[in-house]
């Protein structure tokens, strides 16, 4: 069984040695371990440092493409390398590479398709109380959308089985973390979690410039995934909300109308009618979105077959 540890990097020349040197050389149940560095437009000596440390496999981006694109390109390269398990870690040495054996064990044992490391956010000193609260809230929302129970949905330290990464399709350009959990949960992949303790912070996050930006982008990613995989839940909820809000002014108008006092309350009729129209449109959009969801499932099934054919052809020619 082959394990590929992929490391997305953007100017990580100082911390990359810490990451690579701490990756275990032997793991029970794993026959071969290889390292893959995804260079996401680095302008420093990241690649030179990686080569000096013995890394032979790379994915190069001529400009910064973002974490989601780096992950997507990395797992495809890992599959072409013949990976049975792919571990994703970070180039800033946030995650303890010594825990990789614990991370891959549920997959080796056949108990999971995806394993997400739980950073135990409440214990991270560098995180403010606001960031801790937002991380926990975000995880709860993702679990609701995915039907999972992952304590730390934003954690990027993960292990994936070969079949799970073939089944996943990354859409967002921001962060793949939450999207992949929602996808995996709705595709009935087995997901579990293990607790870890993170290393000391080496630099500020480059994924977002501020907490409000992170909240906004994460919310957009969650809503997009929710619309893709559970549109009826989103649109029925909106439709019912508009129905409840619209019924109040509409019933108010009717009450006054039957009590011979309708002239002064026409605004209630207008507001109620507008909200009830929004409710109807939400229900209609829910039906249309659900039909689109069914069509997308069929397309994704075909895409999965295409990926397998590509990998089979790639191995035959190499």
Kindly report, residue by residue over 84-123, the tens digit of the pLDDT: 999 999 999 999 999 999 999 999 999 999 999 998 877 7
- In this structure, of 33-42, 140-149, 276-285, the range with the lowest mean pLDDT score is 140-149
Query: Exposure pattern of 236-265 as b/e (b: 16+ CB <10 Å)?
Result: bebbeebbebbeebbebbeebeeeeeeeeb
> What is the value of pTM for the model shown?
0.82
Task: Kindly report the average pLDDT of the chain as a whole number.
Answer: 88
pLDDT band at 13 (very low <50, low <70, confident <90, very high): very high
Phi and psi of 198, rounded to 5°? -75, 160
- In this structure, of 29-38, 189-198, 210-219, 301-310, the range with the lowest mean pLDDT score is 210-219
Structure letter (DSSP) for residue 152: -
pLDDT band at 145 (very low <50, low <70, confident <90, very high): confident
Measured between alpha carbons, how far is 280 from 242 in angstroms, rounded to an integer? 9
Q: Are the CB atoms for 9 and 46 separated by under 8 Å?
A: yes
pLDDT in tens, 230-273: 888 889 999 999 999 999 988 888 887 777 665 657 888 889 88
Inform me whether the pLDDT recorded for 67 exceeds 70. yes
Inform me whether the pLDDT recorded for 203 exceeds 70. no
Quick count: other Cβ atoms within 10 Å of Cβ 105?
A: 17
More confident residue, 128 or 64: 64
pLDDT band at 136 (very low <50, low <70, confident <90, very high): confident
pLDDT in tens, 46-58: 999 999 999 999 9
More confident residue, 230 or 59: 59
Give the pLDDT confidence score for residue 57 in this predicted structure. 96
Give the pLDDT confidence score for residue 263 in this predicted structure. 60
CA torsion sign for 238, 239, 244, 246 is positive
Q: At what angle do helices 176-186 and 129-146 cross, to 10 degrees?
A: 30
Measured between alpha carbons, how far is 183 from 169 in angstroms, rounded to an integer? 8
Give the pLDDT confidence score for residue 175 in this predicted structure. 67
């Amino acid at each position: 069984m082959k394990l590929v540890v992929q490391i997305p990097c953007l100017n990580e020349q100082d911390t990359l040695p810490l990451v690579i040197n701490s990756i275990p050389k032997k793991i029970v149940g794993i026959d071969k371990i290889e390292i893959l560095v995804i260079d996401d437009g680095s302008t420093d000596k990241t690649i030179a440092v990686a080569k000096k440390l013995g890394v032979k496999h790379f994915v190069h981006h001529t400009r910064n493409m973002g974490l989601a694109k780096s992950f997507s390109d990395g797992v495809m390269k890992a599959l072409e390398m013949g990976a049975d398990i792919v571990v994703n870690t970070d180039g800033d040495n946030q995650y303890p590479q010594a825990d990789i054996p614990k991370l891959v064990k549920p997959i080796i044992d056949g108990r999971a398709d995806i394993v997400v490391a739980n950073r135990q956010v409440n214990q991270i000193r560098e995180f403010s109380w606001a960031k801790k609260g937002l991380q926990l809230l975000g995880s709860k929302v993702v679990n609701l959308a995915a039907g999972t129970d992952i304590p730390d949905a934003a954690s990027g330290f993960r292990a994936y089985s070969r079949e799970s990464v073939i089944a996943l399709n990354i859409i967002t350009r921001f962060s793949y973390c939450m999207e992949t959990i929602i996808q995996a949960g709705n595709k009935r992949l087995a997901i579990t979690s293990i607790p870890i303790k993170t290393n000391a912070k080496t630099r500020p996050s480059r994924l977002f410039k501020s907490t409000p930006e992170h909240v906004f982008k994460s919310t957009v990613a969650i809503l997009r995934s929710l619309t893709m995989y559970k549109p009826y839940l989103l649109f029925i909820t909106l439709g019912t909300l508009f129905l409840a809000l619209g019924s109040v002014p509409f019933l108010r108008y009717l009450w006054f109308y039957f009590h011979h006092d309708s002239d002064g309350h026409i605004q209630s009729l207008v507001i109620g009618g507008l909200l009830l129209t929004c409710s109807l449109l939400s229900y209609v959009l829910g039906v249309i979105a659900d039909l689109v969801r069914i069509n997308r499932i069929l397309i994704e099934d075909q895409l999965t077959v295409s990926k397998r054919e590509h990998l089979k052809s790639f191995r035959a020619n190499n």
